[in-house]
A and B are shown apart, each in its own frame.
Chain A
Amino acid sequence: MTAAAPAAPASEAPSIPAKGAVAHFWERLRKKKLAMLSLIVITTIYAGGILAPWIAPYPYSEQRIENALQGPSRQHLLGTDRLGRDMLSRSLYSARTTLVVSVAVLVSGSLVIGNGLGLIAGYRGGWVDAAIMRVGEVLSSLPGLPMLVLVNAALGPRVAEWGGWLDRATGIGLFKDFSSYLTVFMVLSLFFWVGTARYVRSLVLQLREREFILAAQALGASTPRILVYHLLPNIAFIVVLQVSATLGSVAGTEVALTWFGVGVQPPTPSFGAMIFEGSGARTFQSQPHLLLVPGLFVSSLLFAFALLGDAINDIIRDR
């Protein structure tokens, strides 16, 4: 059970755990065709986002009003929007927005805060556990979307103010431009640690009664040492699950927030804003590509994450 995260070199024993949890996991995942297909879809959309500045045929904000509302053509593979901006370029940059926000929330909210608090709550128990879990309970009992909208609307302008102030103070000139990213990311992190923390806590509750933890305690290991060296490696396998679950749900939430006009602010392109421009039965009748282009990107990304999460869940349950 000493499943250290990277492949352990000890390969004398031919049994499966000796190959390391991640390698073993990858082997199981590779056999699932749907999961691999989902991985390809996700990687393609993310790669499009990362490479957007180099592969996008037009700048995302270039307006050619005379080209407005065209269907797909050779010049504009996915057509143009109301202002004559290229839909393909805007989609690629929107994928970039989604990627930035979801990875940021994943790292801070789910991986750092969620795992950290879950470990501490599960291991320490008592009032620490009660306090962390009550806070989580309050946060998760808040109605998610309107709360996110409210907090975003309330904090957005403040963060932009701080950004402007930081720009003047440091002379970097980047903070204000990224302030809407920053708001969305902070607010989502605030809400997204709860699920992870609960899950980690339940795992730690099982683990802390095991012999190797008792042995470590008997040898006088400090609490941080037990948490980092003894408990963390044993829950490392669920990080894969967290990655796929968090990335998927953050992507969906970011789209929803931006749709309501409180997420990432224009001119930064986002799928939410694009979908908003294309909604309405009449708009869809006359200009279906306005909705279909961003809609297909978002749906295939979310579906891929759902399939991948399912496959990962299966593998973890079978352990």
Chain B
Amino acid sequence: MTGYVIRRLAILPLTLFVVSFLTFTVARFGPGDPVTVAAGQVRDPEVLQRIREERGLDGSIVQQYQRWMGRALQGDFGESFIQRGFSVRELVVPKMLVSAQLNILAIFFVFAIGVPLGLLAAWFQGRWLDPFIISTLLFLSAIPVLVILPPIQWLLAVQFHIVPVGGWDGLISIYWIAGVIAIPIPDPHLYLPLLVMTVPGFSGVARLVRITALQVSREDYVRTARAKGLEESTVALRHVLPNAMLPVVTAIGLSLAGIVEGAYFTETLLGIPGIGAFTFESVRSRDYDVILATTLIVAFFFIVMNLLTDLAYARIDPRVRLGAGNRT
């Protein structure tokens, strides 16, 4: 196990290096050279040259990359091309915090609701409720966020004024009763994004839970438990559930990846100042250093999630550790 972990960790910096170099090259390769973006309306060759040197954009692409990487390793990701005078770091960090809060809440609800739904479907296997739950969830996950968000926004915010149309105001807000008693409640700005971020995730989790629960319930030890006369509910809660949960843990990484992807649309459409909306803003305005930083951050996150998922698998299933390709 230790050897496997070390092997996987050793690849991590290599993967990050490749990802950053690829992103760097692609960004520089594109139209609208960073220098002209930074120069705005100015086309004076002297000014362009000065900007090029200031931003470390002279020399070959490898030299540029070396310079950028050297600074990035010290936590300096450069300065925004569009929002002048702001370092990438001070722009990105608050947005990361917003996205992180939203994503963690979303993943919590995906599992808190998806797992019971899956167990319910497994419990009712062979009856109408099982296919009903599964196909309803499948339907809900098939509608793209792009399509479903405007109608929901219209219905809940414009028609019924239950939630704000968009925006972000922290996690907790205070609800005053008669202006005296303060009750902390989840901020209403959260409801809409959480709704559209969690509902599509249910189907994946619920189906996985259902399948594993059904597999586990066919195991011999479950039959033994039934044979020795245990209550059906005891069998379900004490024998099936814990063993069915193991593979589900490994699905956290995968669903989090889905949530992060979906957040690009949700944040953009709802005007939430998170990293997803910011990434797209910067891709559209060609804010090169911001693009690089955000891509790298999300890539780093993806890689770590992948790694944790694989390690979780290896912990559960020893066959993975032995690895493929051992017969060379």
Contact = CB atoms under 8 A, between A and B. Distances in A.
Interface stretch (A58-66, A126-134, A223-231, A233-241): A126-134
Contacts of B143: 295, 299, 302-303
Q: Which 4 residue pairs spanning A and B have beta carbons closest together?
A: A154-B30, A303-B142, A295-B147, A143-B298
Interface stretch (A68-76, A97-105, A276-284): A276-284
A275 interface: yes
Contacts of B260: 143
Interface stretch (B18-26, B45-53, B70-78, B111-119): B18-26
26 contacts: A122-B324, A125-B325, A138-B22, A140-B306, A141-B303, A141-B306, A142-B299, A146-B279, A146-B291, A146-B298, A150-B26, A150-B295, A158-B31, A256-B144, A260-B280, A275-B144, A278-B150, A279-B150, A281-B157, A281-B158, A281-B165, A282-B158, A284-B153, A302-B143, A305-B142, A307-B138
B170 interface: no
A266 interface: no
A276 B284 CA distance: 15
Contacts of A202: 324
Given A150-B26, A281-B150, A137 B306 contact: yes
A125 B328 contact: yes
A259 interface: yes
Contacts of A299: 142-144, 147
Interface in A86-130: 122, 125-126, 129-130
A157 B29 CA distance: 11
B280 A149 contact: yes
A34 interface: yes
B135 A145 contact: no
Interface stretch (B98-106, B171-179, B219-227, B261-269): B261-269
Main secondary structure of the interface of A (DSSP, over half): helix
Given A142-B22, A143-B299, A146-B279, A310 B265 contact: no
A34 B142 CA distance: 15
A259 to B, nearest CB: 6
A278 B147 CA distance: 9
Contacts of B299: 141-143
Consensus secondary structure, chain B interface: helix
Contact of B291 (A140, A142, A150): A150
B149 interface: yes
Given A142-B302, A279-B146, A130 B26 contact: no
A41 to B, nearest CB: 11
Contacts of B265: 256, 259
Contacts of A207: none
Nearest to A295: B147
A125 B328 CA distance: 6
A147 to B, nearest CB: 7
Interface residues of A, number: 59
Contacts of B144: 252, 255-256, 275, 295, 298-299, 302
B283 A205 contact: no
B303 to A, nearest CB: 4
Given A130-B325, A142-B299, A146-B298, A153 B30 contact: yes
B311 to A, nearest CB: 14
A281 B298 contact: no
A5 interface: no
Contacts of A305: 142
A87 B31 CA distance: 33
Contact of A281 (B153, B302, B306, B325): B153
B116 to A, nearest CB: 21
A7 interface: no
B324 A303 contact: no
B198 interface: no
Contacts of A141: 15, 19, 299, 302-303, 306
Nearest to B165: A281
A291 interface: yes
A285 interface: yes
A126 B15 CA distance: 19
Contacts of B142: 299, 302-303, 305-306
A126 B324 CA distance: 9
Given A146-B295, A205-B324, A303-B142, 6 more contacts: A129-B324, A134-B11, A154-B26, A284-B154, A295-B148, A302-B144
Contacts of A195: none
B196 interface: no
B295 to A, nearest CB: 6
B146 A259 contact: yes
A154 B260 CA distance: 23
A142 B158 contact: no
A234 B264 CA distance: 40
A138 B15 contact: yes
B141 interface: yes
Interface string A195-206: 000000110010
Nearest to B139: A303
A229 B154 CA distance: 57
Contacts of B18: 138
Contacts of A140: 302, 306
Interface string B75-112: 00000000000000000000000000000000000000
B113 to A, nearest CB: 19
A137 B299 CA distance: 11
A143 B165 CA distance: 28
A160 to B, nearest CB: 10
Given A205-B324, A285-B154, A291-B151, A153 B283 contact: yes
Contacts of A262: 283
